[in-house]
Amino acid sequence: MKFTSAGSDCKQNISERQVFQYYEYLTMEEFAEVADDGFDLQQEIARSAFADMCHDWERNQKYDQALRITIARLHESGMQAHVLDIGTGSGLLSMMAVRAGADSVVACEAFRPMADCAERVIAANQMHERIRLVKKRSTKLTVGPGMDMERRANVLVTELFDTELIGEGAIGTYRHALEHLLTKDVLTIPHRATIYAQVVECPLALSWQCLKTLSNADGDILLRVPPEVVSCRGSSAVFDIQLSQLPAHSFNALTEPMPVMEFYWSKLDELKTDRCFKNPCKARISGFPQAVFMWWDLTMDKEASVLLSCAPYWAHPDFEHLKNTQVHGARRLPESNLIPWRDHWMQAVYFLPPVKIPLQKGQEFMLQSYHDEYSLWFSISEETPLTRPHCSCGWHIAQSRSRIGQLNDSLRNKRYLNYFERVFSGDSVVLVLSEGSLLGLAAARMGVKQVLLYEPNAISRRCMEAFVEYNNVQNVQFVTSADSLEPEQAATVTHVFSEPHFPSAILPWDNLHYGDLLKNLKPLLPASVAVIPASATLYGLPVEFLDLQKINAPLGTCEGFDLSLMDKLIEQHSLYADSPVEAQPLWEYPAYPLAGASRLLDIDFVGDFEKTKLSNGKFCLSEPGRLNGIAIWIEWHLDGSLGPKTTISSGPVVPVEEPSDEPVRWNMNWRQGVHLVRSFPNRAAIIPWTVKFNPTLSNVYFQFDYADK
């Protein structure tokens, strides 16, 4: 049986821009030669979102409609249609342009592995004589007889957008094309983009941004947040999110959605890189303005007959129509899932500078909206325009947003602190084997003798030092590495505590690194030392996702074109680079349980952590045809028992014990693991699984046999 690793072998994606910069000129043969050193590139191909975009049927159909309308109107006016497709990807939009009657089509694609694939896709669809494919960046194209483009194009079709609209350099690319590649009267598809903003009060979103005061069950303050952390604007990275999946009760909309800025893609003089827009607003209810929800729409053609919206369901222009036209007899979808699903363009949350006085119902105020070449940000201040936010306190660099959410989770913290009160005393010396553990620091304020904080990362350590200094915590000492713990010091330790959390972890069980640290330190620790948590359990749940499975499902044909060659390319690199289990915030992707949760593997940190563990079992499904994913999570047992009072779960907030027509409710402060079924053969009703834990590598390996034999 072949196993594939899911754990520390998982890699962070590099950005598409970085991939293009380093690998745009490699042929497929040259690319194969650097495969051993190009793991990130292979994974980028596998997860490039080219297929994800092609699964977006609404996007495809509206680009197709706009091409048909635009080319037909040019022909009606006696003009030819010469189309340029920038960033053609699979070649889909170029083939649509040919089908719509374009007189000539030039497609450019800088990412060489995808350009080579597009060449084969175009040939397979018998359009290689109608489309000139140039394997270059658009900024490298030449225009003139015998050059890349025989003439300037009078139609530009392209999709250069991300969740933030301009984050992949759309402004610069359009500006260059308008100056060097397009006619003065060019028609662009899309014609215009409009950015929408909605000011909200959303404590849930704020809990992923701002650290809160940590108190015990009696309300006594254990740790106050340093002023520099309170005033920090946070990470400058876009906070992309499926806004439609936010619980309706988790936010109050202080304003109606409003258009705040526009980009006319055919107007060079209006495509500037630094602008500020002032939009007068009136509060519809009272509340604190904490964040801005942002999305955008595309007016696809000049006559505005085709509109593509990325709005969440409550602001989507087609929502009422979609709600009234659900197919009778089919499963009735939640309102949040009626609108077209896409993962390559989501919505975003931007945090406003904190205010001390709430807005009152009917109060007028000014929303200021900013953008530079790549980013957006917002303010409701009348003061000097703000620069782009960035983290000045270190917390938003050292810790992810979901981790900050964990630190603010009052139920989780209460469970830990109640346990501390039962097991710690004035003689306790606590070694904390987590990074950025405010709970470990809180133990120092609960009367223990000493806390030793393991903080190998310099940024995280400075953040923790600021908390120690601001709260005047005297009985804390930092340990910068496992090797720096002196034997005399280790001999005094009575308790080892871990949340566990390590910033390098991607999947929840990557935090099993705690066990590895503990194993290495055990020879120095007293035999009587208490270990918290004492054990962990991996759980699995077979599910039916409504949409998430589309991110790696094969395309086959798309809008009448054969894209199976791109399927093969993505599958080839996915098999090499992708883990069979990837990390996803599953609360954003509704899923229905097809069985009860199964215990996959138990791990004991006190006894036999050093032994390789192998576990086997099976999922039993009553409706195997619905299976398209298996969700996996880990639970940490503080004292080794499985009681709810001493267990910290990264999975469902309500236990799943049987199949249900209600979606699973996931912990929103964790990413869970998910194995997506790549194809759709006949499903077996009984699915054997095997899980293996290798303590030497701190890796977990999974095997699922779900096809009917």
pLDDT value of residue 567: 82
Query: Could you tell me if 606 and 654 lie in one domain?
Result: yes
Query: Could you tell me if 383 and 415 lie in one domain?
Result: no
> Which residue reads 């989507």 in tokens?
316
Residue 34 pLDDT more than 60? no
Distance set, CA 140 to CA 137, 159, 168, 180 (Å): 5, 18, 17, 10
In-domain check, residue 456: yes
End-of-domain residue from the set 339, 365, 393: 393
pLDDT value of residue 578: 59
Question: What is the share, in percent, of the chain residues with pLDDT greater than 70?
Answer: 89
Query: What range defines the domain where residue 629 resides?
Result: 536-549+584-634+650-704
In this structure, the number of other CB atoms found within 10 A of the CB of residue 44 comes to: 24
Structure tokens at 203: 């404590």
CATH number where 606 lies: 2.70.160.11
Residue 347 pLDDT more than 50? yes
End-of-domain residue from the set 101, 135, 159: 159
Name the least confident of 24-33, 334-343, 419-428. 24-33
Tell me: the pLDDT tens digits for 259-284? Answer: 999 999 999 999 999 999 999 999 99
Where is 616: in which H helix or E strand?
strand 613-620
Higher pLDDT, 34 or 19: 34
Query: Could you tell me if 684 and 591 lie in one domain?
Result: yes
In-domain check, residue 571: no
Tell me: the pLDDT tens digits for 146-170? Answer: 999 999 999 999 999 999 999 999 9
In this structure, the number of other CB atoms found within 10 A of the CB of residue 256 comes to: 12
- CB of 233 closer than 8 Å to CB of 161: no
Residue 250 pLDDT more than 50? yes
Query: Could you tell me if 351 and 204 lie in one domain?
Result: yes
In-domain check, residue 309: yes
Higher pLDDT, 483 or 64: 64
Where helices occur in 282-360 by DSSP H, the ranges are 319-324
Mean pLDDT within 331-336: 78
Query: Could you tell me if 119 and 213 lie in one domain?
Result: no
Structure tokens at 112: 């060489």
- Rg for the chain, CA atoms, rounded: 27
Gap between the Cα atoms of 21 and 172, Å rounded? 15
Whether the upstream peptide bond of residue 659 has omega within 30° of 0, thus cis, is no
Query: Strand 153-158 relative to strand 82-86: parallel, antiparallel, unpaired?
Result: parallel
Query: Could you tell me if 666 and 520 lie in one domain?
Result: no
Q: How many domains does the chain have?
A: 4
The DSSP call for residue 549 is: G
In-domain check, residue 555: no
Name the least confident of 6-20, 159-173, 235-249, 653-667. 6-20
**Three-state secondary structure along 72-135?**
HHHHHCCCCCEEEEECCCCCHHHHHHHHCCCCEEEEECCCHHHHHHHHHHHHHCCCCCCEEEEC
Residue 448 pLDDT more than 70? yes
End-of-domain residue from the set 341, 374, 393: 393
In terms of Cα–Cα distance, which of 469, 433, 468, 476 is closest to 454? 433
DSSP E strands, 190-267: 192-201, 214-215, 221-223, 239-241, 252-253, 258-264
Distance set, CA 173 to CA 85, 139, 273, 295, 301 (Å): 12, 7, 12, 21, 19
Tell me: the pLDDT tens digits for 539-593? Answer: 999 999 999 998 878 888 889 999 988 888 877 766 655 578 999 999 999 999 9
Gap between the Cα atoms of 116 and 95, Å rounded? 16
In-domain check, residue 34: no
In-domain check, residue 621: yes
Residue 15 pLDDT more than 70? no
pLDDT value of residue 11: 32
Higher pLDDT, 578 or 364: 364
Residue 90 pLDDT more than 70? yes
In-domain check, residue 408: yes
Where is 348: in which H helix or E strand?
strand 347-351
Query: Could you tell me if 425 and 494 lie in one domain?
Result: yes
Query: Could you tell me if 377 and 405 lie in one domain?
Result: no
Residues across the chain: 709
pLDDT value of residue 54: 78
> Which residue reads 């941004």 in tokens?
209
pLDDT value of residue 46: 52
Query: Could you tell me if 367 and 409 lie in one domain?
Result: no
Instruction: Give the SS3 label for residue 489.
Output: helix
Higher pLDDT, 129 or 677: 129
- CB neighbours of 488 closer than 8 A, spacing ≥ 6? none
The DSSP call for residue 642 is: -
Mean pLDDT within 437-444: 96
pLDDT value of residue 696: 84
Query: Could you tell me if 385 and 436 lie in one domain?
Result: no
In-domain check, residue 141: yes
Distance set, CA 431 to CA 423, 451, 535, 585, 695 (Å): 14, 6, 17, 31, 21
Query: Could you tell me if 321 and 342 lie in one domain?
Result: yes
**Which amino acids are annotated catalytic?**
159, 168
In terms of Cα–Cα distance, which of 232, 214, 216 is closest to 224? 214
CATH number where 110 lies: 3.40.50.150
Query: Could you tell me if 93 and 134 lie in one domain?
Result: yes
Where is 584: in which H helix or E strand?
strand 582-584
